[in-house]
């Protein structure tokens, strides 16, 4: 809660007065806010709360034409998987729940964030974007 929720909330609250009108904010959430599993209750709750903050901030900052959105990655092939102990057997279990049958790439998440912060996305605010290979629709 301290990192995932409070850290993001207080960082956002400190930066809001400093942002130029027309800026874009993207908070990194997680598909765990939508897809729940065993032993993830606190993590899932922190990310769900973060998504709620995105909606409130989007309303509060709309008069300044500042957009606020959340990007929620699912299983992405990064070093964190090895650090949390995901081995080949566990990876196969994860892949079985993904309709696209592959892990995401960090570049795919980054491209969505780049789009949301571009001038092409000025009418998108208060939204959560799942980048999860279809995991949330396959539960």
Query: pTM here?
Result: 0.92
SS3 readout for 42-96: HHHHHHHHHHHHHHHHHHHHHHHCCEEEEEEECCECCHHHHHCCCCHHHHHHHHH
Question: Active-site residues: which are they?
Answer: 43
Nearest to 28 by CA among 102, 107, 113, 103: 113
> Which is more confident, 36 or 9?
9
Domain ranges of the chain: 2-137
- Mean predicted confidence (pLDDT) in 114-127: 98
pLDDT band at residue 134 under the 50/70/90 scheme: very high
Residue 139 clears pLDDT 80, i.e. is over it = no
Question: What are 76-119's pLDDT values in tens digits?
Answer: 999 888 888 888 898 998 999 999 999 999 999 999 999 999 99
What is the pLDDT of the chain when averaged over all its residues? 94
Which CATH number is 2-137's, of 2.60.40.420, 3.40.50.150, 3.40.50.720, 2.60.120.380? 3.40.50.720
User: φ and ψ at 136, to 5 degrees?
Assistant: -65, -25
Cα-trace Rg, the chain: 16
Residues shown for the chain:
139
DSSP classification of residue 136: G
Residue 110's pLDDT is 98
């Amino acid at each position: 809660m301290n990192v995932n929720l409070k850290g993001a909330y207080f960082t956002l609250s400190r930066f809001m007065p400093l942002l130029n009108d027309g800026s874009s904010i993207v908070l990194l959430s997680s598909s765990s806010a939508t897809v729940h599993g065993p032993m993830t209750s606190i993590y899932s709750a922190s990310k769900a709360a973060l998504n709620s903050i995105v909606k409130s901030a989007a309303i509060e900052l709309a008069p300044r034409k500042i957009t606020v959105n959340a990007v929620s990655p699912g299983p992405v092939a990064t070093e964190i998987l090895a650090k949390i102990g995901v081995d080949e057997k566990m990876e196969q279990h994860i892949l079985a729940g993904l309709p696209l049958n592959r892990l995401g790439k960090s570049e795919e998440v980054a491209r969505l964030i780049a789009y949301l912060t571009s001038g092409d996305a000025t009418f998108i605010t208060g939204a959560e974007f799942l980048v999860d290979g279809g995991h949330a629709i396959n539960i």
